[in-house]
Amino acid sequence: MQQILPILKHSLSLTLQLFFPFAATLKCPLQPHKPHIDYLDGGSVSFTVAESTADFAHLIGYSPQDVRSFHPFVPEFPPTRTSENGTVCLPLMAIQVTVLPCSGFAVCVNFNHVVADGKAFHRFMKSWAFLCRTKGDLNSLQGSIPFHDRAIVADQKGLEHCFLKEWWDSPIEQSKNRVESVRATTTSKNWGAPSLGILADCRNRLEFPLPSTYFGNCLMAHSVALERKELVGENGIVEAVKAIGNKVKNLESGVLRGAEKWISDVKRIRKLGQPRIVVAGSPRFVVYETDFGWVRPKKSEVVQIDATGSIALADSRDGNGGIEVGLALGRTQMNDFVTILENTFKIML
């Protein structure tokens, strides 16, 4: 409390000077004005310090556990405000550090994906960790300075007009509800199934390549669909791998192909009301290299997957090239899943 927290706060302050959009506000005015991220000098994020008596060893374990045990570690956003002219204003980040006495501490970040995708967020986390570890050595961080210039993004397909029209065509109350739903801190979109939602980084796939340090949400979403009979058939896994592989290959030949129909496609798929799977995170984020200067993280969790139905992927904390998979199911479903998984491993081995 006396040594770690002051260092965390000071290094966070330095990091937010570079990643300042996190300390901004998302403003959604009435038509014809466009939603925008509004940053004022001196902006801040909510920073909460809490204490927990939870079992640290259990929380960092790999055995199935009640996902609700992680909820107390998640910070709440400050309340949404609505100005006199009807503009809805939302904060974009909240942070909570929870101390587990004689065990360790947890750093949990809740952020709005309107401001950044997973790649940008984890660059922020690694920069924060670096500055914490080096006691604020900004000079050594030069190669990771975020690129904020939006002018480099060429809207050659007129997508802004398409997306704004979809937004404005919805009733005001529905738009407000949609703004509230944006608070869910996930990279995922809701897709119908048997569909798998794939989210890809567009930085190096556009006709105007963006720097790898480009800060923002630069994700493109595509869905892969299979007939149920194909998926549950004898060669279901093979068919799924083929479909996903083909979709990934197609990204290289036109990542924005059909982008003007993204929102309408999402609406259509949602109406099907079928189960859906979206992948959150990526092993490429190497979350276990986010070292604040004490030790490597004992465990990294994507907490919101219980609300979104996503499957979380991350690198292995053992550093052996493996992949960690996060999955949230009901108790009965989880028991069945574990049984099937264990039997599959027995067959494979």
Tell me how far apart the alpha carbons of residues 273 and 284 are, in angstroms, rounded to a whole number: 32
**Does residue 161 carry a pLDDT above 80?**
yes
Chain centroid offset of residue 272 CA:
25
User: pLDDT digit string (tens) for 260-301?
Assistant: 877 777 777 677 666 677 888 899 999 999 999 988 899 999
Per domain, the residue ranges of the chain are: 4-348
Residues 6+ apart with CB under 8 A from 313: 279, 280, 281, 282, 283, 323, 324, 325, 326
Given this model, what pLDDT does residue 209 score?
79
Whether 124 and 141 have beta carbons less than 8 Å apart is answered as no
Please classify residue 121 by burial: count the beta carbons closer than 10 Å to its beta carbon, then call 0-12 exposed, 13-18 middle and 19+ buried: buried
Mapped onto helix, strand or coil, the DSSP state of residue 299 is coil
**Does residue 192 carry a pLDDT above 50?**
no
- Residue 36 phi/psi, 5° resolution? -155, 160
Better-predicted residue by pLDDT, 132 or 269: 132
**Does residue 183 carry a pLDDT above 80?**
no
User: pLDDT digit string (tens) for 54-65?
Assistant: 999 999 998 888
Residues 6+ apart with CB under 8 A from 9: 47
Rg for the chain (alpha carbons), in Å? 21
Better-predicted residue by pLDDT, 327 or 221: 327
Mean pLDDT of the chain: 85
**Domain 4-348, CATH class in plain words:** alpha beta
**Does residue 186 carry a pLDDT above 60?**
no
E-assigned strand segments in the chain = 25-28, 36-38, 46-51, 81-82, 88-91, 93-100, 104-111, 195-201, 219-225, 277-281, 310-315, 323-326
Angle value at C-alpha 305, between 74 and 144, nearest 5 degrees: 70
**Does residue 53 carry a pLDDT above 50?**
yes
Given this model, what pLDDT does residue 275 score?
63
Give 3-state DSSP helix, strand, coil % of the chain, rounded to 5: 40, 20, 40
Given this model, what pLDDT does residue 273 score?
66
Strand 310-315, strand 277-281: pairing: parallel
User: pLDDT digit string (tens) for 94-121?
Assistant: 999 999 988 999 999 999 999 999 999 9
Strand 36-38, strand 93-100: pairing: unpaired
Query: CA of 43: how far to CAs of 3, 22, 23, 29, 193, in Å?
Result: 25, 9, 5, 20, 41
Tell me how far apart the alpha carbons of residues 308 and 306 are, in angstroms, rounded to a whole number: 6
Question: pLDDT grade, residue 176 (50/70/90)?
Answer: low
Mean pLDDT is lowest, of 36-45, 207-216, 217-226, for 217-226
* Residue 214 DSSP symbol: B
